[in-house]
Amino acid sequence: MRLLELCAGYGGLGMAVAPLVNGRVVYVAESAPGPNAVLAERYPDAPNNLGDIREIDWAQLVGRVDAITAGFPCQDISIAGNRVGIRGARSGVWVHVAEAVRVIRPRILFLENVSNLRTRGLEVVIADLAAIGYSARWVCVRASEAGAPHLRDRWFCIATPEDTDCELGVERRAPSP
């Protein structure tokens, strides 16, 4: 499965998803210089970084991508940030993620953000996905549930086109002691 990693940062979401779907990251979109240097090392055989998500012509990727991952900016959503919500200057990049999904029509979409998205934009994300024909399932997971020694809560979402027979399920483990 060919993955496009949007708002790639240092590439962690793509690294996590690729083995789950027997895929590989073939495109990334990231505009920050620091993460770009890491991405160039991490994905040496991937095409050039597509750059700023706000300036990409998504039509060029139709038929070239099977899945999209996006850990879109959380600064406007996070309790550590300014809390203006998903319409803020940074987190508002979500509209470009939704546009990429609308044009490319991937078989599956993986999203990640802070758990505070539930009160600062979840209804927008789910409504936008529904408007472009995607069904979504989401869950919040504490880092400690994956064995990490801290309680950082994250929101994860998987979405698929409504016109497919793919059924999504989420199994949640009990928190680690």
Instruction: Judge whether 74 counts as a catalytic residue.
Output: yes
The string of pLDDT tens digits covering residues 140-174 is: 999 888 888 888 899 999 999 998 766 554 444 44
Residue at 19 is within a domain: yes
Residue 45 vs residue 37, higher pLDDT: 37
| Separation CA 117–CA 46 (nearest Å) | 31
Residue at 173 is within a domain: no
| Separation CA 79–CA 84 (nearest Å) | 10
The string of pLDDT tens digits covering residues 100-133 is: 999 999 999 999 999 999 999 999 999 999 999 9
* Contact predicate 173/145, CB 8 Å: yes
Helical H runs in 56-146? 94-104, 117-120, 122-131
Residue at 35 is within a domain: yes
Residue at 169 is within a domain: no
Of 151, 148, 169, which is closest to residue 160 (Cα–Cα)?
A: 169
Domain membership of residue 66 as a residue range: 2-161
Residue at 134 is within a domain: yes
Total structural domains within the chain: 1
CATH number of the CATH domain containing 24: 3.40.50.150
Residue 148 vs residue 139, higher pLDDT: 139
Residue at 177 is within a domain: no
Residue at 48 is within a domain: yes
Residue at 171 is within a domain: no
